[in-house]
Structure 1
Amino acid sequence: MGHHHPHPSEQNLRTAFFLNLAFTLVELVGGFWVNSVAILSDAIHDLGDSLSLGTSWYLEKLAKKKPDSRYSFGYRRFSLLGALINSVVLILGSIWVIREAIFRIMEPETSDAKGMIGLALLGIAVNGYAAWKVGHGKTLNERVISWHLLEDVLGWAAILVAAVIMLFVESPYIDPVLSLLITLFILWNVAKRLRETLFLFLQGQPKDVNKAEIEAKILEINGVDSLHQTHIWSLDGEHHVFTTHVKLSAEISSAEILTVKNSIRKLLAEYPFVHYTIETESADEVCELIKK
């Protein structure tokens, strides 16, 4: 009997999920202990991260399933769905942190600086390790998750700096101002990731393949007269689909058609296509799609 070996992306998300969930509980207890609204707001933000990580872990596992009658292209786009969910959750979480930071500026509170330093160091270590694990991933889902964890690391770094300064200077404004700046920076980056995710959902052409270049190489193959209805889209940002209609030369024989197809397949094998469809048309054949 065979054994299931988790995919690296699945393992990374699982590790990040359990680390984030465990540390969220530590944050909630520690936030009340040191009387830090910043830490409590970060704990709520991390709780949302944990839910997103759990969702991503599940969707990443689902994405590995084989194609079936319901999803003929397979389940890879579920990983893209995870990236979309995580982007939205992170944006909502960032808005929450910005709101809390503004309230802290308007109504400053004194916190236990020494306790904040201890929690900040632990937060940097835990979230830093999780970010390092997920940061090596190739899927768009993992890249979005890495921004989740990077935001947490930078947030704890801000709390650490603020707590150290608070040991020497009585200024309750440092923490919320730093948190505000870091969150705005992360929000800007996540917005770019969300734009990329939506672009792929709308079947935009992947940026790591050049349609014009591929068409030019196909036209160099003997027996190919022209191309039309060429489409390239991505399942998950990593695995792509290619379709095209090839108009054959008038002088090509029936036996040479297979040679042309094999030459095109060999060419497409150089690119990250997991599925491609090549429809050949005779020189005097009129494509019905062109007439529409």
Structure 2
Amino acid sequence: MGHDHHHNHSVKNIRAAFFLNFGFTIIEIIGGLLTNSMAILSDALHDLGDSLSLGISWYLQKKADKKGEDQTFSFGYKRFSLLGALINSIILIGGSLFILTQAVPRLLDPQPIEATGMLILAILGIAVNGMAVLRLQRGNSMNEKVVTWHLLEDVLGWVAVLIVSIVLLFKDLPILDPILSIMITFYVLFNVIKNLKKTLMIFLEAVPEGIDFNTVKNKISNLPGVISTHHTHLWSLDGEQNALSTHIIVKDSTTREEIVVLKGHIQEFVDELNLEHLTIQVDYQNEDCCMDKQMVHDPE
């Protein structure tokens, strides 16, 4: 019930962010045309890309929340959320590079800007995108985190526009606009690349962050009745819920009751490691392991 409640909030958060972003993009396009501001129209194009990626995230998060597994996806659909995070990261990197191609030339050739129109749209932009960021910050999924960076980029961008528009009301310094745009873009690129690395590590089934794999293996190996372990694997399904599988070797004389107790001790890892899936295979000391007949006595 806890996971279902959490994922339902993920879908609602991303859906709300999508409608806020898409609605404001339309307003931004109209405002850019009325103020004849290429900077705002360029940002509107970027926001349109954000709306597309938010729509993708919304769809994929709904897929990720599909209950249970099927004959195609035996682990269920949780990793669809990661796919959304990956696509959004790529779109955001592409959009940031596009902004740089537009901002860098303006360092050499600053363009005149309509300050009053920028000021009005900046206040509206901060309010709308800020609401979406606050909504998504309550979520924990990797998808929501990447989408949050989309919207945070917009908030920071509009803060820069607000500052520039206020300055331009009193002094003609249009070069401030590309300087702030470049600084914000590099800041966002740093964070989205960091999140992209985390997403790729999950896809590559790396040990989840914050967990010492050797400590987990040693805890299992040191349990009373366990001779050794092998084929121990720990990975994350979606950045939140983890999975653990292991083979344990016990003495040939170990009884069924002792094995039940032993499994109970390992079961305690479920809460400690936030496990969604736990698989334990018991191999007797003189039994050939079905996975690797050469690895009966693991030096671990």
Shorter chain as denominator, the TM-score bin is over 0.9
User: SS in structure 2 opposite 1:32?
Assistant: helix
Which aligned pairs between 1:170-185 and structure 2 lie closer than 5 A?
170-185=172-187
CA distance in 1 between counterparts of 2:11 and 2:106 reads 38
CA distance in 2 between counterparts of 1:43 and 1:19 reads 13
Match of 1:42 in 2: 43
Which aligned pairs between 1:251-266 and structure 2 lie closer than 5 A?
251-266=253-268
The reply on whether 1:289 has 2:292 as its aligned counterpart is: yes
CA distance in 2 between counterparts of 1:255 and 1:8 reads 42
User: SS in structure 2 opposite 1:289?
Assistant: coil
Question: Deviation string for 1:25-59 (max 9, x for gaps)?
Answer: 11111112222222111111110100111110111
Match of 1:8 in 2: 9
Q: Give the number of aligned pairs.
A: 289
User: SS in structure 2 opposite 1:291?
Assistant: coil
What 5-or-longer segments of structure 2 have no aligned partner?
296-300
CA distance in 2 between counterparts of 1:171 and 1:290 reads 74
Question: Post-superposition shift, 1:285?
Answer: 2.4
User: SS in structure 1 opposite 2:190?
Assistant: helix
Flag the 1:32–1:269 CA change in 2: closer, same or farther, 3 A.
same
CA distance in 2 between counterparts of 1:270 and 1:252 reads 27
Match of 2:233 in 1: 231
Q: Which amino acid aligns with 1:55?
A: I
CA distance in 2 between counterparts of 1:252 and 1:55 reads 53
* Backbone CA RMSD of aligned residues: 1.7
Match of 2:100 in 1: 98
CA distance in 2 between counterparts of 1:12 and 1:268 reads 28
CA distance in 2 between counterparts of 1:291 and 1:99 reads 58
Q: Contact 1:225 / 1:248 at 8 angstroms: preserved in 2?
A: yes
Q: Which amino acid aligns with 1:95?
A: L
User: SS in structure 1 opposite 2:268?
Assistant: helix
Match of 2:143 in 1: 141
Question: Post-superposition shift, 1:225?
Answer: 1.1
The reply on whether 1:75 has 2:80 as its aligned counterpart is: no
Q: Contact 2:270 / 2:276 at 8 angstroms: preserved in 1?
A: no
Match of 2:251 in 1: 249
Match of 2:25 in 1: 24
Q: Which amino acid aligns with 2:88?
A: N
- Identical pairs, percent: 47
CA distance in 2 between counterparts of 1:34 and 1:269 reads 56
User: SS in structure 1 opposite 2:238?
Assistant: coil
Q: Which amino acid aligns with 2:8?
A: H
Q: Contact 1:38 / 1:176 at 8 angstroms: preserved in 2?
A: no
What 5-or-longer segments of structure 1 have no aligned partner?
none
CA distance in 2 between counterparts of 1:126 and 1:269 reads 38
Q: Which amino acid aligns with 2:272?
A: E
Which aligned pairs between 1:107-118 and structure 2 lie closer than 5 A?
107-118=109-120
Q: Which amino acid aligns with 1:141?
A: N
Match of 1:84 in 2: 86
CA distance in 2 between counterparts of 1:261 and 1:86 reads 41
Q: Contact 1:206 / 1:233 at 8 angstroms: preserved in 2?
A: yes
Match of 2:269 in 1: 267
Q: Contact 1:127 / 1:149 at 8 angstroms: preserved in 2?
A: yes
Question: Post-superposition shift, 1:251?
Answer: 4.1
